[in-house]
Amino acid sequence: MQKTLEKKSSNPMHDHSEQRNKGLPFNTKYFDRININRSAVDRRVTTLGGRRSVKKEFQAAWLLKAISMIDLTTLAGDDTRGNVLRLCEKAKNPVRQDILKALQMQNANLTTGAVCVYHNLIPYAKEALKGSTIPIAAVSTGFPAGQISLEEKITEIKKSVAAGATEIDIVISRALVLESKWKELYDEIKLCREACGDAHMKTILATGEIPTYTKVAKASWVAMMAGSDFIKTSTGKESVNATLAVSLVMIRCIRDYYELTGVKIGYKPAGGIQKAKQALDYLILIKEELGNEWLTPNLFRFGASSLLGDIERQLEHYVTGRYSAGFRHPMA
């Protein structure tokens, strides 16, 4: 079992060693003929859970793998320095030591993929994560609505990078998607990408506010063409956030972009992913559609706050055969 777990849960290096996405010149030929069949997409993801399942030590291994790909997030209005410090400690030590010892993983140096906070909390995260390799991700560009000027968005990105963020999660202007203003969307994202400099950029589409899968696909293409390192479903603040169906649409765009350019774009579902079983479904979808190469923190992340607690609870159940109370697995 130890060998299985180590193979699935090797320590993420957080080195962003994948080739950066330089983007493509704007051209609608890449996406103007896209027309997504909603019923076919829904049918594909509906059958996912029934066709694939992992059990026992294999499930434990996959769950440990999932932990390494969580952007452990706090984006609440009442966030304080104390909240962020606790979050960062949980990111560095995501699973109780007694559970890790039972899994023979106490020396695996398991951490989450990143810590994600608002701009003003970056200094606290930087303080708490000093000496670790865990990246700091900052939400930017008027998160979550994105209803500020482009100049303000650029300024906000630059300030977050200067403060210590190594990953920037931007939000697009949804009106540009709704009105099919693809060149304007491309120009906006490209300028944001330039402002990020060496920091990796995750572009949030807010898919719950995009009315059709076809427009989700076109927005995904524009975001990748403009230089996004990741495309991300949601802010977590919309009424509908990440779903397997919208994920299928977006990751098939990632696959097509890779086939065209040879560049691997990362994917981040966010919002509403709270249970270990959900995490497994997403990992299986990624494995089936993109392959094992994408099962790394450099190319796949969960945006989540409560998911880690349930994964830890499931791991304790695997070790002891009993479900423990939730308070034994606090998120932070």
Annotated active-site positions, please? Answer: 169, 232, 268
Neighbours of 325 (CB within 10 A): 7
Write down how long the chain is.
Answer: 332
DSSP secondary structure code for residue 113 in this structure: S
Q: Taking a C-beta distance cutoff of 8 angstroms, is the pair 71, 304 a contact?
A: yes
Provide the strand spans (E) within 15-109.
70-73
116 DSSP assignment: E
Cis link prior to 144 (omega < 30° from 0)?
A: yes
**Helix crossing, 244-261 with 38-46: angle to 10°?**
110
List Cα–Cα distances, 77 to 114, 117, 234, 275, in angstroms: 20, 11, 18, 24
Q: Are 185 and 172 in contact (CB under 8 A)?
A: yes
- Axis crossing angle, helix 307-320 with helix 276-289, rounded to the nearest 10: 100
Residue 307 phi, psi dihedral angles, 5° rounding: -60, -40
Q: Which amino acid, 45? A: V
Residue 315's nearest CA partner among 75, 103, 40, 43 is: 103
- Going along the chain, which residue ranges are E strands? 70-73, 114-117, 136-139, 167-171, 200-204, 230-232, 266-268, 302-304
